[in-house]
Amino acid sequence: MAGPAHPHAMAPPKPARTRAAPPQTPSSWWSSSRMRTYLLFDATGIIYFLIAFLAIRMIRALADGPIAWQQAMRSLENPIYIAFHVLCLVSVIFVAVRFFRLFPKAQPPNLPVPPGPVIHATLYVVWIGITIGLSAILAGAIL
């Protein structure tokens, strides 16, 4: 078992000429656009957490039978639920666009990577195609 470290073990070997200032957050920290973007990105996690509870509620209503399912479906016609679903859609789009901007930067450096605009266009085309396909399936036009 090791004993406690000496209190000056991490001290520099000789005193520095000037003392370092204590860490401080910049005065523009909260008003910075990067900080707002990070906070918005983090807030989408709360929205996903809430939509998961709604999904669990809907699954339970489905398990309770057709009457409970119809009541749950009617409750989703409430304007508050509609606004919440619009907020969920905006959150998903925000995270997807942010991911698409990050995707070219995250590629391995030793592989040939197409230019960023080509990757962005490909990702958006695939995303729109999948959205249209799933919408057609859910609308009953396909399958």
Contact 119, 104 (CB under 8 A): yes
For residue 55, tell me if it sits in a domain: yes
Query: For residue 65, is it left (φ>0), alpha (ψ between -120 and 50) or beta?
Result: left
pTM, two decimals, is 0.63
Whether 91 is in a domain gets the answer yes
User: Is 51 exposed, middle or buried (CB count within 10 Å of its CB: 0-12, 13-18, 19+)?
Assistant: middle
> Does residue 126 sit within a domain?
no
Closest CA to 100 of 114, 126, 119, 115: 119
Structural domain including 67 reads: 33-111
Domain assignment present for 37: yes
65: its two tokens? 């039978």
Domain count, the chain: 1
Here the CATH number for the domain that contains residue 56 is 1.20.1300.10
For residue 23, the model assigns a pLDDT of 67
Query: Would you say residue 93 lies in a domain?
Result: yes
Tens of pLDDT, residues 116-140: 788 889 889 998 999 999 999 988 8
